[in-house]
């Protein structure tokens, strides 16, 4: 992020603009929506600028901007559409220590003006750091369609009521009040009874919240999916929005953690096979401790919490402490990995069942029904198998699995840096060593990349040749 987004106070402060043509008009249409004192410097103002001056909306100086004009200003715009003149304005502003924007010159500008969705006092600013203005406009158009014009009215009424709401304890109690106002009672009252109805409804709503019993703590055991934030379920996203505390695994993608409220407490309790380890008892203690304070806790797990997530132990700990809980399933890493190689996990004529296995568990390398796995046509999604690949390979070969059985290794399934390694049972351990995988990986035993699948009969015939 090269440009830090802020909202600058400009009420009754001077903003200076040099220029009188189309570029100046475009900026002025935006600046005149503010409560700043806008001053324009140009010898040749467009008719619209002259008209705005006559209406008292801005001050027009029919001359060039001079150094003596700068003291007391907060921002300067150079919109002369002339490189020499723009450079002169920039030099003056720099010497005066003022922020300057040169229209259509990102490199020399100290700040940029974002695309804006105006629902005063609600303002949404959209910036692409000059990389894609057309994208910013598309986002602006989309937001303008989704945000009702009445949102500004609700925000204005709500702002005037903020002092009264301070009677509620800071934190969740206030957030719950405002959430109900903006997304339920406020819009309904405005549509049915107008602004006075909104004001009356606010007072009634505050009375309800002041006398309401404290909300009990709760733990939501949430699946974060394989990593792509767009694969997060709507229910999971809602849980993140409401969470006071998020206790997450190390495999949860940073892009998903970014969706949490800024005020939420994030606790990393990641576990790593043969590496850093947070004891399960400590995770249970943290969940119980925070929920017992009346907080909304999200236990965020990569993939689906019901698959190799120690879910039963965590539920038992919550039940023992009398803490309520719910489960929000997520898209599994196995499904995402199979989708990434263009395959289904089951197919008529190949396998009617899917085995979901772990390469190692709390006791070390995990034993399986090797004879069943070794049968031709078997498909298995094997989690946590990077360290145990040589063990898996040896057991399967020992029980008669064909050496040419395809194995596809999918690292960072669904993420932009997803990587696939095509292998066979015969070369699995060596291929994993050579791949130098650093991200979470899943093995799809019995599945090849769709593009390579057509060659499997030839490969198997070659492997079985004397």
Tens digits of residue pLDDT in 323-378: 999 999 999 999 999 999 999 999 988 888 899 998 876 666 778 899 999 999 99
The string of DSSP letters for 34-93 reads: SSSEEEEE-SS--HHHHHHHHTTSSEEESS---GGG-TTEEEEEE-SS-HHHHHHHHHHH
Measure the CA dihedral 72/74/80/85, to 10°.
Answer: 60
Residues contacting 393, CB < 8 A, separation 6+: 425, 428, 429
Instruction: Confirm whether pTM is higher than 0.85.
Output: no
Question: HSE of 126 in the Cβ direction (CA atoms, 13 Å)?
Answer: 17
pLDDT digits (tens, 9 = 90+) for 179-206: 889 889 999 999 999 999 999 999 999 9
| Angle between the N-to-C axes of helices 22-31 and 47-54, in degrees from 0 to 180, rounded to the nearest 10 | 30
pLDDT of 105 reads 86
Band (pLDDT 50/70/90 cuts) for residue 466 is: very low
Domain-by-domain residue ranges, the chain?
Answer: 14-113, 151-211, 218-331, 334-464
Q: Report residue 244 as tokens.
A: 């006071």
- Asked if residues 124 and 114 have their Cβ atoms less than 8 Å apart, the reply is no
In degrees and rounded to multiples of 5, residue 360 shows phi and psi of -150, 155
Please choose, from the candidates 198, 211, 199, 205, the residue with its C-alpha nearest in 3D space to the C-alpha of residue 177: 205
- CATH 3.60.10.10, domain 218-331, yes or no: no
| Angle between the N-to-C axes of helices 186-211 and 151-160, in degrees from 0 to 180, rounded to the nearest 10 | 30
| Angle between the N-to-C axes of helices 428-435 and 389-398, in degrees from 0 to 180, rounded to the nearest 10 | 170
Band (pLDDT 50/70/90 cuts) for residue 459 is: very low
Rounded-to-integer distance, Cα 446 and Cα 425, Å: 9
| Angle between the N-to-C axes of helices 172-180 and 186-211, in degrees from 0 to 180, rounded to the nearest 10 | 150
Please choose, from the candidates 117, 99, 101, the residue with its C-alpha nearest in 3D space to the C-alpha of residue 109: 101
pLDDT of 431 reads 93
Topology adopted by domain 14-113: Rossmann fold (3.40.50)
Band (pLDDT 50/70/90 cuts) for residue 3 is: confident
Rounded-to-integer distance, Cα 301 and Cα 251, Å: 8
Please choose, from the candidates 363, 385, 358, the residue with its C-alpha nearest in 3D space to the C-alpha of residue 440: 385
| Angle between the N-to-C axes of helices 311-320 and 280-292, in degrees from 0 to 180, rounded to the nearest 10 | 40
Active site residues: 249, 271
- Do the domains 218-331 and 334-464 sit in the same CATH topology, yes or no? no
Q: Dihedral sign, CA of 203, 204, 207, 213?
A: negative
Alpha-carbon distances of 143 from 119, 126, 344, rounded to whole Å: 11, 10, 37
pLDDT digits (tens, 9 = 90+) for 253-304: 999 999 998 889 999 997 655 455 789 999 999 999 999 999 999 999 999 9
Partners of 289 in beta bridges: none
3-state secondary structure of 122: strand
- Give the distance from CA 181 to its chain's centroid: 25
pLDDT digits (tens, 9 = 90+) for 72-99: 999 999 999 999 999 999 999 999 999 9
Beta-strand (E) ranges in 315-433? Answer: 324-328, 355-358, 360-361, 364-365, 380-383, 406-411, 419-424
Q: Which of 1.10.1060.10, 3.30.950.10, 2.60.40.10, 3.30.565.10 would CATH assign to domain 334-464?
A: 3.30.950.10
Rounded-to-integer distance, Cα 241 and Cα 262, Å: 10
Band (pLDDT 50/70/90 cuts) for residue 462 is: very low
């Amino acid at each position: 992020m090269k440009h830090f987004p802020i909202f600058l106070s400009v009420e009754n402060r001077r903003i200076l603009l040099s220029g009188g043509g189309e570029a100046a008009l475009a900026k002025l249409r935006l600046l005149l929506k503010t409560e700043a004192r806008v001053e324009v410097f140009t010898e040749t103002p467009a008719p619209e600028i002259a008209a705005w001056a006559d209406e008292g909306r801005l001050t027009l100086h029919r001359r060039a901007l001079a150094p003596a004009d700068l003291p007391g200003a907060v921002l300067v715009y150079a919109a002369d559409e002339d490189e020499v003149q723009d450079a002169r304005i920039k030099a003056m502003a720099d010497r005066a220590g003022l922020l300057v924007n040169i229209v259509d010159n990102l490199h020399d500008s100290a700040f940029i003006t974002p695309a804006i969705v105006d629902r005063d006092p609600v303002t949404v600013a959209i910036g692409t750091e000059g990389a894609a203005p057309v994208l910013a406009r598309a986002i602006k158009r989309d937001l303008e369609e989704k945000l009702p014009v009445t949102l500004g009215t609700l925000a204005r009424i709500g702002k005037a009521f903020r002092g009264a709401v301070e009677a509620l304890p800071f934190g969740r109690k206030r957030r719950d009040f405002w959430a109900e106002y903006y997304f339920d009672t406020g819009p309904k009252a405005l549509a049915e009874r107008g602004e006075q109805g909104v004001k009356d409804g606010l007072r009634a709503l505050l009375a309800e919240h002041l006398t309401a019993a404290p909300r009990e703590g709760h733990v939501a055991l949430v699946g974060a999916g394989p990593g792509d934030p767009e694969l997060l379920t709507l229910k999971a996203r809602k849980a993140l929005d409401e969470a006071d505390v998020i206790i997450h695994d190390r495999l949860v993608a940073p892009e998903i953690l970014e969706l949490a409220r800024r005020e939420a407490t994030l606790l990393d309790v990641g576990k790593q096979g043969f590496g850093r380890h947070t004891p399960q008892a400590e995770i249970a203690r943290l969940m119980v401790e925070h929920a017992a304070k009346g907080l909304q806790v999200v236990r965020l797990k990569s993939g689906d919490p019901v698959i190799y997530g120690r879910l039963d132990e965590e539920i038992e700990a919550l039940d023992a402490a009398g803490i309520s809980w719910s489960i929000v399933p997520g898209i599994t890493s196995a499904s995402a990995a199979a989708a990434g190689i263009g395959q289904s996990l089951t197919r008529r004529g190949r396998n009617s069942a899917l085995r979901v296995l772990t390469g190692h568990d709390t006791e070390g390398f995990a034993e399986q029904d090797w004879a069943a796995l070794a049968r031709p046509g078997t498909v298995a999604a094997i989690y946590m198998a990077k360290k145990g690949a040589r063990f898996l390979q040896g057991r399967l070969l020992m029980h008669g699995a064909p050496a040419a059985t395809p194995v596809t290794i999918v690292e960072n399934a669904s993420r932009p840096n997803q990587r696939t390694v095509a292998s066979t049972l015969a070369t699995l351990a060596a291929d994993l060593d050579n791949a130098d995988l650093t991200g979470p990986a899943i093995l799809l035993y019995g599945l090849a990349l769709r593009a390579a699948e057509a060659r499997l009969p030839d490969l198997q015939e070659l492997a079985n040749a004397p």
